[in-house]
Amino acid sequence: MYFKISNTAKMREIERDVNALFKYPNLYSPQVVISGLTEVSIPIITMNEPEVINLAIWGLLPSNFNDDWGLFQKLTNTLTLPAHKLESDIWYHDSFMNRRCIIPVTGFFTSVLKNGEIYPYHISSKKGEILYLAGIYTILNDGFITCSLLTGPLEKEVVNFQNLVDYMPVIIDRDDKYEWFFSDTTIERTKEILRPPHKTDLEIRPIAKNLFNQGISYDSMLMPYEYPES
């Protein structure tokens, strides 16, 4: 469901907002639509380098994994992971404990099934601020970073704009950013940070169905689109 995000912010805008600098500034460029269905890198801020904005491959891999990213994603899609399973005895449990991250985006997408058709919506901050999405990451043997978005229950604003699944990316409140990073933050507190409701006011607007066309992206794609009443 959540395999596309948007990051239209300029590099300096992100750096000012998160109070960190890009480690590889020449590798970042704003994108209207970022699809995780192909191997792509996205900006993240990690627990071990909170003063730096790294680029991570979207789609978590085990730290000792040496095979192909695409093969792993076909076997088990890790673009998103449910937050309520992070405490289970599963291979990414250690990342929840020791490698939490924030993924800065300007928006993400959801869909509604209505009268036999699917309508896409863009979700962003009502104030135009960057959203901090909760994530976890791994560092591979070759030094590359991989990451996953964490999903949780729907925020109240989203309930009426999504009926295909009952989860969404978890938004970290700005006041909780540093506590999410702290290695000594208790598990109970991290779970509390993940639970809605969050303080960020969201804007949700319908956009054109071109979002569903893989590989298509243009500047006006996120403009509000009015569908005829049916």
Beta bridge partners of 109: 122
Q: Give the confidence band of 230 by pLDDT, cuts at 50, 70, 90.
A: very low
For 70-104, how does the pLDDT look when each residue is reduced to its tens digit (9 = 90+)?
999 999 999 999 998 887 778 998 999 999 999 99
More confident residue, 29 or 226: 29
What's the pLDDT score for residue 215?
65
Q: What percent of the chain has pLDDT over 90?
A: 75
Helix, strand, coil tally for the chain in percent (to 5): 25, 35, 45
For 31-46, how does the pLDDT look when each residue is reduced to its tens digit (9 = 90+)?
999 999 999 999 999 9
Decide the pairing of beta strands 21-22 and 52-58: parallel
Question: Which of 3.40.50.300, 3.90.1680.10, 3.40.718.10, 3.40.50.2000 would CATH assign to domain 4-216?
Answer: 3.90.1680.10
Give the position of tokens 């020791």: 98
Distance CA 220, CA 80 (A): 27
pLDDT at 106 over 70: yes
Decide the pairing of beta strands 100-105 and 202-206: unpaired
The structural domains of the chain, with segments of one domain joined by +, span 4-216
What's the pLDDT score for residue 214?
63
What is the rounded average pLDDT for all residues in the chain? 91
More confident residue, 221 or 184: 184
Contact 203, 125 (CB under 8 A): yes
Amino acid at 120: P
Q: How confident is the model over 111-124, as a mean pLDDT?
A: 91
